[in-house]
Structure formats: C-alpha cells, structure tokens
Chain A
Amino acid sequence: MIHFDNISKRYPGGHDALSQVSLRLEKGQMAFLTGHSGAGKSTLLKLIAMIERPTRGQIFLDGVNLNNISNRKIPYIRRNIGIIFQNHHLLYDRPVFDNVAMPLIIQGYRRQEIHKRVRAALNQVGLLSKEKADPITLSGGEQQRVGIARAIVHKPLLLLADEPTGNLDPELSREIMELFARFNQVGTTVLIASHDLELIKQMGSPMISLHGGRVAHNGLPFTLNKQELK
C-alpha cells in the first residue's frame, strides 16, 4: 500500500527531516509510527498525504508513484486517504453532520447517499445521537471521534493519524486506538503516528520507530508479539 524507496526530505533552510528512509506497509496492515518529536513522524505522514514532496527518492501509494502526480491531481490522491489530526481540524461554524459530510460533498455524492454514509460513519464512532450538535459543545474525545468519522466516511483505502490521542486520557486513548483496529479489521490500511509507547505495546501492531530522520526499528514493538500479549 505504501512503499518508501530511499526517501530524503530536506526543508528549505537545510534541516534534514528524513534521510534515506525505506519502508513498506502492505495492504490491510496496521502499523504505528513512533519517535521523539522532531524525529520525522509528521514529515513522513505529510509526504504520503502529498502535503510535502520528497527531496529525493520515490513514494508509491497503492502502486502509484507520487512523483508523477502533478499538483492539480493531488486532490484525487487525497480522496483515497483519510487523515486524522491531533487537533481535530473540525469546522466550528457547522454541525457535526456537515463536518463529517465534507469529503462526500467534495466528491459529488448525492444527497441520499451522503445521509446514509454520514450516519453510518457516526454510528461507527458512537456519535449518531450528536449529528446535529455543534462540534464546540462536544468533549475532546467526542471531537476526535467526529474527526475520525470524517476520515472514514468515504471509505478510504488508507487511514493516516497524526497523534490522534495526544490530548486524551489513557482510557479514551485506548478506545480510539481500538476504533482504528476495528477499521483495520475490515480491510483499511492504517498508519498511526504516536509517541504513546505503552498503548502501542498493548495494541500489538508492528511499529516503525524513527530517530533523527532515519528508521531505527521496524517490526513488532520491541520483542513483544501478539502471542505474548495474550
């Protein structure tokens, strides 16, 4: 699904965010991306979402070389990705329903279809009763779940999450992570950037650890594996 081939990213000013990163995430896989702040987690996600372009190397997304995608075509690449942010990026001038419906409106879905899918997405994150609420009236965890509903409403092939539990207490964080695991179980590829090592260990998914812009570890978290967790 995602294939990084010897990727380097240097920002203007000379800061090397990523150096010669090669990695692979198979279709239907779920993985965590960890590392200290400044290790390159966000940059890696931005490269996949085409918010940034690599300085060197090639990225393949579902077999498509992103270097060959012109700026005009970027929106169509992004429509296959669902992105979840630490600070939700919800729009507070419209109710929950309209926030979640945005990706569908952008892609020109019909009204009935939009209603069906938005309600299904809200149901999956357990917020069906809040569809008419203003996002500002929701708790942090609920807002994050609205953000997740918006990211999955158009059934993307790939789900990217940048510190999705950054502002949440352990209980809520775990709920959110289990939500991601559920989407993964129905076939969505999931990549989550997080520094919450404890939680990552509990989830038992492979972990890519970045250090100073290089891959320091790629595999199951430390020596643990799923069997040992049980």
Chain B
Amino acid sequence: MRNSPKRTSQLRAYFSHHLRVSLASLGRLYAQPIATLMTAAVIAIALALPVGLYIGLANIGQVSTGWDGSTQISLFLHTQVTEAEAKKLQSKLEKHKDIKKVELIDKEKGLQQFKEISGFGDALKYLDSNPLPIVLVVHPRILSNQPDRTTKLVKDLGKNKLVEIAQLDVQWVKRLYTFIEIANRSIWVISSMLAIAVLLVVGNTIRLDIQNRREEIEVSKLIGASDSFIRRPFLYTGFWYGIIGGLLAWVITLLSLSMMQNPIHKLALLYHSDFRLTGLGMANTLLLILISCALGLIGSWIAVSRHLKDIEPS
C-alpha cells in the first residue's frame, strides 16, 4: 500500500482508535439517556432475577449447613418406663458399633425444653403430672451419605420393647436438600432463558442502531472501511449495554437485599438465631458484571454479523 503509515505509529493509532471508538459508543448512549436506561433496565431485571434466586438459595444452604452432621435419632420411650430402665438402655446402646453417643433427656428436662421452645409454658402449669416420656437422643456413628445404614439402625432401635417411637430427625433436612437441589437446577434453567432474553434485547437494540446508521455504514464501506472497522462501534455499544445492565442488576440486588434484611433478621430472632442475609460478595459481583458484559458483546455480535452484510453500497 502506497499510503500506509509506519508500523509502530499504526499500532499506537490502533489502540487510540479503539479507545476513541469505545468512548464514542458510550457517548452515543449518553446522548439518549432514556432509551439507554430502558434497554439497560431490561437487561438488569433479567439478570437480577436469577441473581436474587441464587442469593436466596445460597442463604438457605448456609442456614442448613451443620444440620447435615447432626443426624440424630430420637427414641421416645413408653411413658411407664422408669429412669433406671432408661439409663440401662442408654449404656447398652452406647456399646453399639454404629452409635457414637446417647443422650438421655428425662421427663423434667424434656418439660423444661418444651416450655422454652413451644411458648406454652404457662399452659403447662395447669397440668397435674408431666405427660412427657423419657427421650433417648442417639447420635449415630454413621455418615449422612449412607442413608441405608441409618434407616436400618432406626428400624432396629424401633424394635426394642421399651421404645414407643424411633424417629430419624434428619429426614426433613434431606428433603430440604433435595428441594434446594431442584431449586438450584431451576435457577440454571431460568438463567439460561433470561440470558437468551438479554441476547435478544441487545441484539434488537443493536439492529435498530445499525438501521439508523445505514448511511454512515454505506459511506464507510465505500471509502474502504474493513468489516471489523464497521463492526467495532456496534460491538462497543453492546459491551457498554452489558456493563450498564450488569451494574444496574447489582444495584437492584443490593436494594432488594437491604429491603429484606430487617424482616428476615426479625424472623431469625424469633427462631433464636442471629442469621443475617449474605449478599453477592466481591467475586460474584464481578462475575455478574462479566457475564452481563459477555452477553452484551455476544448479542451485538449476532446482530452485527446478521445485519451488516445486508448493507452494501449501491
């Protein structure tokens, strides 16, 4: 090429060109704040939804960790069983190879706990005698990932003639985990659908942008602009939509969390817990913006590769 400038200055010009194009794209968005915000808000809401679900599940998972290890079997003994008999059974069970520890909750202690937890303390005063049975709390030596052995142990314990009911307390925790698992899967399904929605929103916005700048594209092609040169401003527009959408999604998430924080904390206090909602965290926030940015880029790429070909000078 007769007119091409020197290589090094070309490289420098290339980078300053990229900087200028990206800023020009941002400037175009800034020049139409309402339209830009509307598109970015659609992206943000589509992203904030799965992010909110994710945070909710992460918190439920956090609350329930620790419950996993506390698999325990409650043996409710017949009411006529005496404390001496219960103690004998306790020491017998502690020798069982699958049992780590057995705790004895006598009638008095049981009543005490019931008063504390149920809130029916005053009503209990009117009872003539203590209606509660002695309870043996069995801590199995079994890992929670061996449900069959635990189930067998529960069955065996239930056969003892002193035991009225043998109850595996871990059952509902397992159900909760299964539920969380299902919810986790559905987050993936919802997220992928919303990601496609983001792609479509960005793609459609860029398509309109391309139509509006048809003249400019034609002229650029006529004076020798390469396809990548023409593509660049549109890709940067998609990139900026992604960034703005991601940041907005983050703000929406923060606002929603702070709105939920107080009532949830109050609820937690009612359960004697100091639980507080945990937010997205630094790494996940970055990931959110990164994903949003990638979706913006991919969306604009799809639009650009579909529609730029149609515009040829004539």
Contacts and interface: CB of A to CB of B under 8 A. Distances in A.
B10 A91 contact: no
A75 B14 contact: no
Contacts of A77: 224
A93 B214 CA distance: 13
Contacts of B10: 108
Interface stretch (B150-158, B163-171, B225-233): B225-233
Interface stretch (A13-21, A98-106, A197-205, A213-221): A98-106
B219 A89 contact: yes
Given A78-B222, A91-B215, A102-B220, A110 B13 contact: yes
Nearest to B4: A107
Contacts of B313: 51
Contacts of A230: none
Interface residues of A, number: 28
B252 to A, nearest CB: 34
Q: Which of A93, A106, A155 has the most CB of B within 10 A?
A: A106
A157 interface: yes
Given A51-B313, A91-B216, A107-B4, A83 B9 contact: no
Contact of B223 (A51, A83, A157): A83
A113 B13 CA distance: 11
A80 B2 contact: yes
Q: Which of B5, B14, B224, B314 has the most CB of A within 10 A?
A: B224
Contacts of B17: 105, 108
A78 B3 CA distance: 13
Nearest to B221: A75
Contacts of A76: 1, 224, 226
Question: Is the contact region of chain B dominated by helix, strand, or loop, or is it mixed?
Answer: helix
B106 interface: no
A150 B224 CA distance: 12
Nearest to B12: A110
A191 interface: no
A150 B1 contact: no
A79 B312 CA distance: 16
Interface in B197-224: 215-216, 218-224
B221 A107 contact: no
Contacts of A113: 5
Interface string A86-123: 00010101000000001101111111010000000000
Contacts of A150: 223
A109 B223 CA distance: 14
A108 B219 contact: no
B13 to A, nearest CB: 5
B186 interface: no
Interface string A67-85: 0000010011111110100
Given A51-B313, A91-B215, A105-B17, A78 B223 contact: yes
B21 to A, nearest CB: 10
B178 to A, nearest CB: 55
Q: Which of B10, B13, B218, B314 has the most CB of A within 10 A?
A: B13
A176 interface: no
A40 B10 CA distance: 40
A45 to B, nearest CB: 11
B5 A103 contact: no
Contacts of B305: none
B304 to A, nearest CB: 16
B192 interface: no
Contact of A75 (B216, B218, B224): B224
Contacts of B3: 79, 107, 154-155
A49 interface: yes
A103 B216 contact: no
7 contacts: A75-B224, A91-B215, A103-B224, A107-B224, A108-B14, A109-B13, A154-B3
**3 residue pairs, one from A and one from B, having the closest CB atoms:** A78-B224, A79-B224, A106-B225
